[in-house]
Amino acid sequence: MSGPEPFPDEAVRGYVDALTPDGRALFDRFSALVLAEHPEATMTWAYAMPTFVVGERRLHVGVWKHGLSLYGWDADRSGGFCDRYPTLCGDRGTLKLPHREMARIPDEHLRDLVRATFAA
């Protein structure tokens, strides 16, 4: 028996299917961390990118040539991430995570970010 469709939104599914292998690995890693922390999270399509939704909070996830970018989060709700990685945190709700940096960031630091971003 197969489980639920991981990306039920057609636009999200198309976006994810079109990613390069490196981009898909980044997306899958981050998605797994979000879903481990918030199994109730849903994914939709907003601002031309996949968007995680938990309650009233949203986190937009874009995969670009440079790596992974997160939009719509608040630097005051980074769970210490911006204290650890200040050069990655933009001042306008953008967090750019280049491939090289993502390889160095432990999952626990990303989990802290996810927990803080979606905290009530």
Asked whether residue 100 is assigned to any structural domain, the reply reads yes
Q: Can you give the pTM of this predicted structure? A: 0.89
Tell me which residue range forms the domain holding 16: 10-118
Q: What is the pLDDT of residue 120?
A: 75
Tell which wins on pLDDT, 58 or 91. Answer: 58
Q: pLDDT at residue 82 above 50? A: yes
Number of independent structural domains in the chain: 1
Mean of the per-residue pLDDT values for the chain? 89
* Within a domain: 30: yes
What is the rounded average pLDDT of the residues 47-53?
Answer: 94
CATH number, domain containing residue 26: 3.90.1150
Could you tell me if residue 2 is inside a domain? no
Domain assignment present for 1 = no
How does residue 1 score in pLDDT terms, banded at 50, 70 and 90? very low
- Which residues 6+ apart lie within 8 Å of 48 measured at CB? none
For residue 51, tell me if it sits in a domain. yes
Mean pLDDT of 69-89: 89
